[in-house]
Amino acid sequence: MQAIEAEAARLYLKARASDAPEDWKAAYAWVAKDPAHGFAFAKAEAGWELAERLNELPANQRDSPAPPVGPLVDDPTPDEPMVPVRPPLFGRRGLLVGLATAAAAIGVASTVALRLLGTVDHYRTVLGETRTVQLADGSLIHLNTNSSVEVALRDDIRSITLLKGEAQFDVAHDKKRPFIVNADGTLVRAVGTMFNVRLRADVTELTVIEGVVAVRNGDSAVRRIESGRSAAVRSGSIAVTHLEPAKIRQRIAWQEGMVEFEGDTLAQAVEEFNRYRPTPLVIGDPAIASLRVGGAFRLDRSQDFVDALESGFGVRAVQGSDNSIILVSAEGS
C-alpha cells in the first residue's frame, strides 16, 4: 500500500506542477487500473492541499481541527437560508461523495473522486489565449489567459474546479442541478446567473455580473452576493464591495480582447499586461511604479501601451536582449 501511495503522490505532484495534458492523462490512466489507485491519488491530492492550507495558518492554530463543511446545495434566494449538506458515507458511491466533500472542506473538490463518479472534462488555455467552452447543459465558460478548469456534469450536480487563472461562468438555469465552482477552496453556488472568478496570488476575486450567487470559504458563513458586487475571499474571510458598472466592464474587458485602466498604477497595469505576454514588461525604476494610467488597449498589442507611456507619461522603454521591455523614467536620459 505504501508503494501505491508513493506512486500516487509522484503522479499527482508531477501533473500539478506541469498542468500538462499528457501528465494528467498518465495519472488518470494509472488511477483507472485499480480502485486502490483512485483512493491513493485522491488522498495525495487532498493531503497536499491540506498541507498548503495549514502553512497559511498562524503557528498556534495549526493543531486546531477545522469544522467539517459540505457543499452549498440550497438555492441562494432571499427566503431560503443557505445550509451545507453532508451526503451519507456508505456504499462505494457514498464513500466517494464523502471523499469529495472532505476534500472540498480543506480547499479542493477531489477531481479523482469526481472522475470515479462520472466523466470529467479538462479545459485550458495557454499564455495569451482566451476561449469559450459550451457545456452540455448550455452553460458557457469563458477562459482567460493561462487558465484551467475541470468540469463534472452529473445528474444531481454540476461541479466545476477552477485550477488556475480566471474564468467567467454564464450559467444555464437548472434548479435541480446546483452549479458549484470550487476556486482554491472558495465555493460559489449559482442558478441561472453570470459571474467571474479570478485566482490571484493571495486572494480569490469574485465579480457577480448578473443574478445572485452564494459563497463560502472554509468555515465562513455563507454570503449572498448580488449583481454589481464583488467579493475578495481569503482564509475564511469574505469582503464584499459594490462595483460601478464601469468597474465591472473593466474587469471583464478581456473577453473582448481588451484591457482597460482607469487610475490604475503603472505597477498594476504592467502586472495585467504580463498575464498575456511571453516576455515581461519590467519596471526598472521604482519612482514610476505609482504613476496613474488610463485608457483601453488590445491585449495582443502591449506595444501600443508602451508607446502611450513614452509619449505622455515621461517613461522611456528599453528593449531587453530577451525581448523584455524595461520601463524607466525619461528624466535624465
Domains and CATH numbers, the chain: 118-246 (2.60.120.1440), 257-329 (3.55.50.30)
Q: What is the pLDDT of residue 1?
A: 63
pLDDT in tens, 13-50: 888 778 888 888 888 888 878 767 876 777 777 666 55
Q: Which of 40-54, 84-98, 145-159 has the highest mean pLDDT?
A: 145-159
- pTM for the model: 0.69
Task: Tell me how far the alpha carbon of residue 77 is from its chain's centroid.
Answer: 25
Q: How many angstroms separate the first and last alpha carbons of the chain?
A: 66
The Cα–Cα gap between 65 and 54 comes to 10
Q: What is the pLDDT of residue 272?
A: 95
H or E element in which residue 56 lies: helix 35-56
Cell numbers describing residue 186: 472558495
Cell numbers describing residue 63: 493543531
Q: What is the pLDDT of residue 46?
A: 64
**Do the Cβ atoms of 96 and 120 come closer than 8 Å?**
no
pLDDT in tens, 157-179: 899 999 999 999 999 999 888 89
Task: Enumerate residues 6+ apart whose C-beta is below 8 A from 121.
Answer: 150, 151, 152
With a cut of 70, say whether residue 229 has pLDDT above it: yes
Mean pLDDT value across residues 302-306? 94
